[in-house]
Amino acid sequence: MALHYFHYANGSQTLDNIGTDLADMTAVRKEAVRAFRELLNLTSGQGAWDGDPWKVWVTDQPNAKGKTILVLELSAVTFSGR
């Protein structure tokens, strides 16, 4: 098992300095999807429609330092006329 640090950006950044102990990349992926889903649910996802990407990224060191292991991004744009 190893510590993985989950960071968030949705107009502002939240950096993880505690970490989550996970066994493998499958567990890291599942936790990243869960964290992203929670981020969307907490904010109703409204800010994602501004075109600025929302992001959850995972590193092997606290405070977004070290190696980036995984990144999930979402950006959405509404086009007029449709």
Residue 11 domain-assigned (yes or no): yes
Residue 79 domain-assigned (yes or no): no
Round to whole Å and give the CA distance between 27 and 21: 10
Mean pLDDT confidence for 67-77: 89
Residue 80 domain-assigned (yes or no): no
Q: Which of 78, 59, 81, 80 is nearest to 70 (CA)?
A: 59
Please name the residue that has the structure tokens 């996970």. 22
- Full domain range(s) for residue 60: 2-74
Residue 6 domain-assigned (yes or no): yes
Does position 72 have pLDDT exceeding 90, yes or no? yes
Does position 82 have pLDDT exceeding 60, yes or no? no
Residue type, 60: D
Residue 47 domain-assigned (yes or no): yes
- Name the average pLDDT for the chain: 87
The structural domain count of the chain equals 1
pTM above 0.75, yes or no: yes
Does position 50 have pLDDT exceeding 70, yes or no? no
Of 14-18, 35-39, 77-81, the one with minimum mean pLDDT is 77-81
